Amino acid sequence: MGVKINVTVNGKAYSHDVEPRTLLVHYLRDTLLLTGTHVGCDTSSCGACTIHVDGIAAKSCTMLAVQADDCEITTIEGMAKGSDMHPLQEGFKECHGLQCGFCTPGMIMSSADLLSKNPNPTEDEIRHALEGNFCRCTGYHNIVRAVQYAAEKMAVEV
Amino acid sequence: MSNRYIGKSIKRVEDKRFITGKGKYTDDMVLPQQTYAHIVRSPYAHALVKKIDISAALAIEGVVAVFTGDDIRNAGINGVPCGWQVNFKDGTTMKEPSHPLLVGTGDTIKHLGDAVAVVIAEDRNIAADAADAVEVDYEVKNAISNPFEAVQAGATPVHPEVAPNNIAFDWTLGNPRDEVDAAIAASHHVTTLDFINQRVIPNAIEPRVAIGHYDTTSEKYTLYTSTQNPHLIRLMMSAFVLGIPEHKVRVVGPDVGGGFGSKIFHYTEEALVVWASKQIERPVKWTSERSEAFMTDAHGRDHVTKAEMGFDKDGNVMALRVKTYANLGAYLSLFAPAVPTYLHGTLLQGLYTTPKINIDLVGVFTHTNAVDAYRGAGRPEATYLLERLMDLGALEMGMDPADLRFRNFIPPFDGVTQPGYQTQVALQYDSGNYEGVLKRGLEMLDYKGFREDQKEALKNGKLLGVGFSTYVEACGIAPSAVVGSLGARAGLYESAQVRVQPTGKVSVYTGSHSHGQGHETTFVQIVADKFGIPMEDVELIHGDSDTVAFGMGTYGSRSLAVGGSAIMKSIDKILEKGAKIAAHKLEANIDDLEFNEGKWTVKGTDKSISFGDVSLTAYVPHVYPEGLEPGLDFSSFYDPANFTYPFGCHIAVVEIDPETGKVKLKRFLAVDDVGNVINPMIVDGQIHGGLAQGIGQALFEGAIYDDNGQLINGSYMDYCMPRADDLPMFEIDRTVTPCPHNPLGVKGAGEAGCIGSTPAVVNAVIDALWSGGHQVKDILMPLTPERVWRAMQ
């Protein structure tokens, strides 16, 4: 039997019957076809599935879809405003903060969470904030630079 | 020609789709009527399959089909083949056991995660439930996981009929063993290391995915798979496993979330979903879980080695003697036999003038997952061996490790005016300036200043250490005739098609495959500059066997050196034909034309015709040279003359907490020489990523199989990989010594970081310990706090 949930994802309201055991990440990927959120592990360790639930970063493989009932969700697909990239998206491109791109959506969502709480983080604070997200390509060097780029850009914009 | 792009850090073309969540990885695809596969895997490393009962699984609503090893056997399907044959020293053929897609009743499980059945269902949850309902009756047997133990008398055989002593091949290379024995015996000092280069797990963040689709209308098979080389998979699967016509098979490797070697190989699941799709006449998707990835993605390294380096009284290296047991796992993966032999033994000259070298190696079967190429593949093992011996030798002889290297380096040679360097272990290096990278590294380090800091730190109870690693590696394995003589069952060239469209826009098709390396940018930079047109007018197409000519894919840092050279050949053909068309249109002699900034100009005049106009003329050939074919579209294959040989110097600075043994990596410096560089930003990124993986092996990573063949750290909760707060900002620089034998002068950058970095870190820890009076020769990697602390007691 399905359970009905109402969620807002990237500003759009959805209502679906979901199997109670459905993980939020599978609901996003399979039902809403938002495949920018990735699955990299089965232990809540890699962070590739990171999204925002009511404005806070969460690993969507660690939540059931039913737990997201009445929540506002933002995924990577909701970060740009039209063709204007979010400063983090821009930073990842400008600083070569991605290679294969698989961890990138989760990295950007975790970084956005950091910058919302700490707009001017130190290198150590960035590294600490991203320790829940694996990247196997970049050695994190350019990811740190990308977050610094975005922090500077957002400070100017404010 | 123009000079707008080559050599510049152009931002990546491919990034837009990845930063907006629009990347298209295999698991993002949903085909109409798609079903989901879940594989039933053995929880034991060695067991007889006595019975497989699928009745309960079939009874679950939503289950479409269940196939077992019995079905595969009855269908007459072969196992997945090995692509490289290394025979025994005495000429006996390599022992090559079959690697079935699924293990059937009466057959034997050879490693943890070996597959018994596949369950196919309407959704992934039903498939997983039904897989749990498959009942397999196992008779569990003793397992063996250590390669040294596996070759001892009485050890349990993995393949009793094929290799009762667990030896797949034995192999030797270099100077005769007795000459090396004599040189070692005559040495003033011999540094000896008995060590393990531990098994590591590649762990691309995208797990493997395969979708098989048999189309009943066209009778064609399509496989979408997370692969580094679609054509190779197509050839292996169609010709050797399923026995289906190659021209009726399409293999697509779409966006791939990292490979690092682990996605080179043809895996059983690929053939399985394709075969199953034909049986049920619906698409079948299999998505690996991370725990399956740990058990079944081919692993890397895993050598048990004794290495001895003999020095004369001045510190000149006189001889190197190596004995290695290389763990191949239970089955021979695609390139497995080549990795410890032709990619490892051949690199034991390093960058030194060592006159006598011999390696004696045994390739061993164990009840573990297959071991094959992982970033660097053999070269990190060779570098680790050499560079640990150099730093340890310096400590033992009371010499400076940098001075010891300067004393032994091969002198600079450019491969043009000076010949290449012929090693004692079969290779001829193309060009090198080894002193240059170490000199630059020492400058960046401020070596003198560091040694003062080290003394000062010791007074404050802190242990600081520096470790060096200078390496040379071999990329772009070639030429095909040579690798064929060494046992390769494939050629190692690359294909490229450059198709100029009537409007002057250009489509470039490469047999290389990008899974993070940035081909869509780098390759386009080259084409745009050579034609003098904007990058926006050039598109790179790769990864689809239906659109791209047969190519060999991406691994071994080969894409630019081999694939880029193939593109250069097609570019040359286009420009040659374009000049004929231009000369005709301009009513000029072809020898009077020059091509620059996207147009052919009659020298000394203002008469010119643009690349776009020539393109249009080629397809609308009204005013056209007589006898010339229409069109502007050329394919090429490039088979290199030699390997390329990047080299570099890596330096680690560590601090050890004496209370806990925890190692903090304070600085990491890398000076790499990868030949000419097309996009410095991308090359730097490749180095960074390689460094993280090499440092990961030194400090964090290591697969642990227990005596029963259980992988006891088979998840991200247990297997430690570097996270953002484990690493410093890297300090990198490069020198440029062009490759003399390919048109771009490039050498390859994908693996360098991973090849040089591991021994630098371990050497730094050993240096720190010696500075504090702990004369430790070796610590088993990874250098966990516990192991370092114990070494200090």
We report the CATH number of the domain holding residue A139 as 1.10.150.120
Write down which residue in A50, A78, A106 finishes a domain: A78
Whole domain around residue A95: which residue ranges? 87-157
Are A72 and A136 members of one domain?
no
B247: number of Cβ within 10 Å: 11
pLDDT digit string (tens) for B393-442?
999 999 999 999 999 999 999 999 999 999 999 999 999 999 999 999 99
Give yes or no for A62 touching B (CB within 8 A): no
**Which tokens is B276 given?**
């199953």
Are A59 and A115 members of one domain?
no
Portion 643-682 of B in contact with A at CB < 8 A: 681-682
- On the question of pLDDT at A157 being above 80, the answer is no
**Which tokens is A118 given?**
């700490």
Over residues A78-90, the mean pLDDT reads 97
- What is the CATH number for A65? 3.10.20.30
Chain B residue with the nearest C-alpha to that of A89: B19
Contact B643, B634 (CB under 8 A): no
Q: CA of B21, closest CA in chain A: separation in Å?
A: 4
The shortest CB-CB distance from B689 to any of A48, A85, A138 is to A138
**Which tokens is B527 given?**
């084409």
Over residues A36-65, the mean pLDDT reads 97
B691: which chain A residues are within 8 Å (Cβ-Cβ)? 139
In the CATH scheme, what architecture does the domain B300-478+642-792 have? 2-Layer Sandwich (3.30)
Give yes or no for A20 touching B (CB within 8 A): no
B255: which chain A residues are within 8 Å (Cβ-Cβ)? 100-101
Residue range(s) of every CATH 3.30.365.10 domain in chain B: 300-478+642-792, 493-638
Residue A156 is predicted with a pLDDT of 87
Are A18 and A53 members of one domain?
yes
B17: which chain A residues are within 8 Å (Cβ-Cβ)? 101
Are A73 and A136 members of one domain?
no
- On the question of pLDDT at B626 being above 80, the answer is yes
Contact B251, B233 (CB under 8 A): yes
Determine the Cα–Cα distance for residues B422 and B675; give it in Å rounded to an integer.
19
Over residues A28-46, the mean pLDDT reads 97
Give yes or no for B17 touching A (CB within 8 A): yes
Are A15 and A57 members of one domain?
yes
Give yes or no for B692 touching A (CB within 8 A): yes
Residue B597 is predicted with a pLDDT of 95
Are A18 and A41 members of one domain?
yes
Give the mean pLDDT of chain B: 97
A89: which chain B residues are within 8 Å (Cβ-Cβ)? 19-20
Portion 266-295 of B in contact with A at CB < 8 A: 287, 289-291
> Quick one: which of B40, B166, B164, B156 has its CA closest to B103?
B40
Residue B615 is predicted with a pLDDT of 98
> Quick one: which of B227, B246, B247, B229 has its CA closest to B238?
B246
> Quick one: which of B198, B222, B202, B220 has its CA closest to B211?
B222
**CA–CA–CA angle B444, B445, B447 (5° rounding):** 125
Sign of the alpha-carbon torsion through B307, B308, B314, B318:
negative
> Quick one: which of A111, A115, A97, A107 has its CA closest to A157?
A115
Cβ distance of A100 and B716 shorter than 8 Å:
no
Residue found by looking up tokens 């737990």 in the block: A67
pLDDT digit string (tens) for B251-309?
999 999 999 999 999 999 999 999 999 999 999 999 999 999 999 999 999 999 999 99
Residue range(s) of every CATH 3.90.1170.50 domain in chain B: 31-141+206-257+263-296
Over residues B571-589, the mean pLDDT reads 98
B317 SS3 class: strand
Cβ distance of A136 and B716 shorter than 8 Å:
no
B692: which chain A residues are within 8 Å (Cβ-Cβ)? 136, 138-140
DSSP letters for B271-314: HHHHHHHHHHTS-EEEE--HHHHHHHS-BEEEEEEEEEEEE-TT
Residue A1 is predicted with a pLDDT of 65
Determine the Cα–Cα distance for residues B87 and B89; give it in Å rounded to an integer.
7
- On the question of pLDDT at A158 being above 70, the answer is no
Confidence tier at B478 by pLDDT (50, 70, 90): confident
Give the A:B interface size as CB pairs under 8 Å: 180
B206: which chain A residues are within 8 Å (Cβ-Cβ)? 38, 40, 100, 102
Are A45 and A92 members of one domain?
no
β-pair type (B284-287, B35-41): parallel
β-pair type (B189-200, B300-311): antiparallel
Are A68 and A95 members of one domain?
no
Are A109 and A74 members of one domain?
no
pLDDT digit string (tens) for B537-554?
999 999 999 999 999 999
DSSP letters for B574-619: HHHHHHHHHHHHHT--GGGEEEETTEEEETTSS-EEEHHHHHHHHH
Give yes or no for A75 touching B (CB within 8 A): yes
Determine if the peptide bond prior to B81 is cis (ω within 30°).
no
Least confident of B133-142, B261-270, B386-395, B472-481: B472-481
- On the question of pLDDT at B469 being above 80, the answer is yes
The correct answer on CATH 3.30.70.890 for the domain covering B31-141+206-257+263-296 is no
Asked if the ipTM is above 0.95, the reply is yes
Over residues B80-88, the mean pLDDT reads 96
Portion 88-147 of A in contact with B at CB < 8 A: 89, 92-94, 96, 98-105, 108, 123-124, 126-128, 130-131, 133-144
Residue B260 is predicted with a pLDDT of 97
Hey, what amino acid is at B597? E
Write down which residue in A39, A55, A78 finishes a domain: A78
Determine the Cα–Cα distance for residues B755 and B384; give it in Å rounded to an integer.
8
Write down which residue in A60, A78, A96 finishes a domain: A78
Chain A residue with the nearest C-alpha to that of B731: A141
> Quick one: which of B338, B288, B750 has its CA closest to B554?
B750
Determine the Cα–Cα distance for residues B412 and B431; give it in Å rounded to an integer.
8
- On the question of pLDDT at B2 being above 90, the answer is no
Give yes or no for B629 touching A (CB within 8 A): no
Residue B127 is predicted with a pLDDT of 98
Write the DSSP symbol of residue B83: S
Write the DSSP symbol of residue B255: B
Contact B35, B122 (CB under 8 A): yes
Over residues B490-499, the mean pLDDT reads 95
pLDDT digit string (tens) for B347-369?
999 999 999 999 999 999 999 99
A80 SS3 class: coil
Over residues B180-197, the mean pLDDT reads 98
Determine the Cα–Cα distance for residues B673 and B695; give it in Å rounded to an integer.
19
Are A60 and A96 members of one domain?
no
% of chain B with per-residue pLDDT over 70: 100
Q: Which CATH code for domain B493-638?
A: 3.30.365.10
Residue B1 is predicted with a pLDDT of 79
A62: which chain B residues are within 8 Å (Cβ-Cβ)? none
Number of domains in chain A: 2
> Quick one: which of A28, A119, A138, A108 has its CA closest to B258?
A138
> Quick one: which of A76, A147, A79, A75 has its CA closest to A117?
A147
Are A9 and A74 members of one domain?
yes
